[in-house]
Amino acid sequence: MDAVATFRSAVNDLQAGREQQREARPEIAFDDQPPPRKLAPYAAAIGATVHESGPPHDADGEIGWGSFVLLYDPAGQDGWGGPFRMIAYVRAELDPEIAADPLIGQVGWSWLTEALDARTVGYRQVSGTVTRVVTEGFGAKEDRPVDTEFELRASWSPAMAGTGAPPDLDGHIAAWCDALCAACGLPPLPPGVSALRPPRSRRRP
């Protein structure tokens, strides 16, 4: 299989994984995003917005955001350990009490690694950061409530059994969605199961 066909197969798997998560997580709205052009010869990206409840989605009810990028370089790159690389981004509202926990970085990182362990057949060369973002208002905005958010940025390579597309790309998409939902306070769900958790009452200011 040539490079174009291999990447096309991977993109098809990426879209199939997204559709599985769309059914499993009605709170998540997905969209196509322009992929980065300088990181690899081939790339695809999708975005996600987490809402307090399922459709119809309300912009005022947005509680989390994320993106997933699939990179493919047939020759591989330093630090990848293979021709494919995943880049994931997660951002969510965070209660101030939780943001003050000194272990939130470790806990947040475990949301991703535990999801990868559960959802994929293997991964390697994982790296990333966890950041707490605190926004305070001053002057004319001094009455604005303190806003705290959680951000996770990570990249990893799928374990490869051959020279084609990763055999479990849908699992990597599911792991990203699991981490995104965990950051938003939603429990992990297997594909095809709808969330029964009541909507959160907190909204972005």
The per-residue pLDDT for range 29-84, each reduced to its tens digit, is 999 999 998 999 999 999 999 998 777 777 778 899 999 999 999 998 999 988 99
Evaluate whether residue 141 is within a structural domain: yes
**Which residue type occupies 141?**
K
Q: How far is residue 87's CA from residue 159's CA, in Å, rounded to a whole number?
A: 15
Task: Grade residue 195 by pLDDT with cuts at 50, 70 and 90.
Answer: very low
**By C-alpha distance, which of 90, 88, 47 is closest to 172?**
88
Taking 90 as the threshold, does the pLDDT of residue 15 lie above it? yes
Evaluate whether residue 188 is within a structural domain: no
User: What integer pLDDT is reported at residue 137 of this predicted model?
Assistant: 77
User: What integer pLDDT is reported at residue 162 of this predicted model?
Assistant: 65
Evaluate whether residue 165 is within a structural domain: yes
Q: How far is residue 6's CA from residue 169's CA, in Å, rounded to a whole number?
A: 13
First to last CA, the chain: 51
43 token code pair: 């790339």
Taking 80 as the threshold, does the pLDDT of residue 142 lie above it? no
Share of the chain above pLDDT 70, in %: 88
pTM of the shown model:
0.84
Helix (H) or strand (E) holding 149: strand 147-158
36, 44 in Cβ contact below 8 A? no
64 token code pair: 């989390």
- Domain count of the chain? 1
Evaluate whether residue 24 is within a structural domain: yes
Contacts (Cβ under 8 Å, ≥6 apart) of 93: 63, 64, 147, 148, 149, 150, 184, 202, 204
82 token code pair: 């293979």
Evaluate whether residue 199 is within a structural domain: no
Boundaries of domain holding 173: 3-183
Evaluate whether residue 202 is within a structural domain: no
Evaluate whether residue 86 is within a structural domain: yes
Q: Is 159 helix (H, G, I), strand (E, B) or coil?
A: coil
Evaluate whether residue 198 is within a structural domain: no
Task: Report DSSP state, residue 60.
Answer: G
109, 130 in Cβ contact below 8 A? yes
